[in-house]
Amino acid sequence: MALGLTTNSHQLDLAISGDRRCLAKILTKIESGFVPIMEVQNPWTLGVTGPPGAGKSTLIGNLISEWIKRGEKVAVLAVDPSSPKSGGALLADRIRMQGEESSNSVFIRSIASRNHPGGLSLFIGHMVNVLCACGWTRIIIETVGSGQSQTRIVAFADRILLVEGPDRGDIIQAEKAGILELADIVVVNKSDISSSKLAFNSLNSSLTLNHDSSISTHLVSALNGNGVENLLSSIEECPKSSQREIIRQRERLLSIWDSRLLNYPGLNHILEQLSTGSITLEEAADEID
């Protein structure tokens, strides 16, 4: 065990001094519960979420290119769901972030959400801190915006970008999921498709109804790059909203709370009791409490 600890901290030192292999190994260890001990700086983080197929990864690919031009070092943590049946996962986000793999200024890591108790919330923060210590100046957390636990992961970022496609005329639906109140910036992607303008207008009018002018909205095309530069400036200048900070902290807290519940040692026993009807939900909640 002692040897294991020394190796870990040695590996962490090597990662911080620029060894990518060690950084990758440390991230793997964090996934399996290793808690890195180091000085925490102030990481710059962006959460990107949105429905499947909205163009999140392609858009991130565009942002990466712009940031590299500006001399930033960009790390992406791309989260994809694990199959509940096999536990396996298909991690293909990086296909859409083409062209930058060979650059020393980009680090892309695919993460399977796994179904292990606790989910990602317990370690995503550690990953971000390590990446920051290793000199990555722009850290992106990407998740598909379906399912609350997936969406909540982006709340671990300090600014949140919601990407929508043009084919969802019902962007207001997103409000129901609560993600819209978490987002600092909302983008309607695929401006190369004519219906995107309509989606953009309906988004803006629904935000007007909310009297929330602090959310900035953009119409972009990840395909041809239109609007990406403006979006990038908007991300860089994103003001801190105290109202959203509270929502963000609330989501983080809920996420940790979920983890605690799922890690509760007697959980399976309680679930069995619930399924046979021998205890009520209230009694179950009291027992866990």
Q: Does 109 bind another protein (CB under 8 A)?
A: yes
Say which residues have a Cβ less than 8 Å from residue 202's Cβ, sequence separation at least 6: 169, 171, 172
Q: Does 107 bind another protein (CB under 8 A)?
A: yes
Helix, strand or coil, per DSSP, at residue 140: strand
- Phi and psi at residue 253, to the nearest 5°: -65, -45
Alpha carbons 82 and 90: distance in angstroms, whole number:
8
Sketch the per residue contact string, 173 through 202, with another protein: x for CB under 8 A, - otherwise: ------------------------------
Question: Based on CB atoms, which residue is closest to another protein, 5 or 90?
Answer: 90
For 177, how many CA atoms within 13 A lie in the half-sphere containing its CB? 20
CA 135 remoteness from chain centre: 19
Helix, strand or coil, per DSSP, at residue 219: strand
Alpha carbons 276 and 27: distance in angstroms, whole number:
41
Q: Does 126 bind another protein (CB under 8 A)?
A: no
Q: Does 153 bind another protein (CB under 8 A)?
A: no
Q: Does 68 bind another protein (CB under 8 A)?
A: no
Alpha carbons 165 and 168: distance in angstroms, whole number:
6
Question: Based on CB atoms, which residue is closest to another protein, 27 or 199?
Answer: 27
Sole binder of another protein in the list 4, 9, 24, 52 (CB under 8 A): 24
Task: Give the nearest distance from C-beta 95 to another protein in angstroms.
Answer: 4
Q: Does 110 bind another protein (CB under 8 A)?
A: yes
Question: Based on CB atoms, which residue is closest to another protein, 24 or 198?
Answer: 24
Q: Does 20 bind another protein (CB under 8 A)?
A: yes
Question: Based on CB atoms, which residue is closest to another protein, 97 or 182?
Answer: 97
Task: Give the nearest distance from C-beta 23 to another protein in angstroms.
Answer: 8
Name the segment binding another protein (CB under 8 A); options: 4-12, 104-112, 158-166, 203-211.
104-112
Cross-sheet strand order for the sheet of 106-112: 106-112, 74-80, 138-143, 45-49, 159-164, 185-188, 216-219
For 233, how many CA atoms within 13 A lie in the half-sphere containing its CB? 4
CA 271 remoteness from chain centre: 30
Alpha carbons 194 and 104: distance in angstroms, whole number:
37
- Under rule CB under 8 A, which residues in 225-254 are in contact with another protein? none
Could you give the maximum distance between any two Cα atoms of the chain, in Å?
63
Sketch the per residue contact string, 70 through 99, with another protein: x for CB under 8 A, - otherwise: ------------xx-xxxxxxxx-xx--x-
Task: Give the nearest distance from C-beta 286 to another protein in angstroms.
Answer: 36
Sole binder of another protein in the list 12, 15, 16, 27 (CB under 8 A): 27
Count of positions on this chain that bind another protein (CB under 8 A): 26
Nearest to 183 by CA among 171, 192, 195: 171
Q: Does 32 bind another protein (CB under 8 A)?
A: no
Question: Based on CB atoms, which residue is closest to another protein, 146 or 249?
Answer: 146
Sole binder of another protein in the list 21, 69, 70, 260 (CB under 8 A): 21
For 72, how many CA atoms within 13 A lie in the half-sphere containing its CB? 18
Binding site for another protein (CB under 8 A): 20-21, 24-25, 27-28, 82-83, 85-92, 94-95, 98, 101-102, 107-110, 112
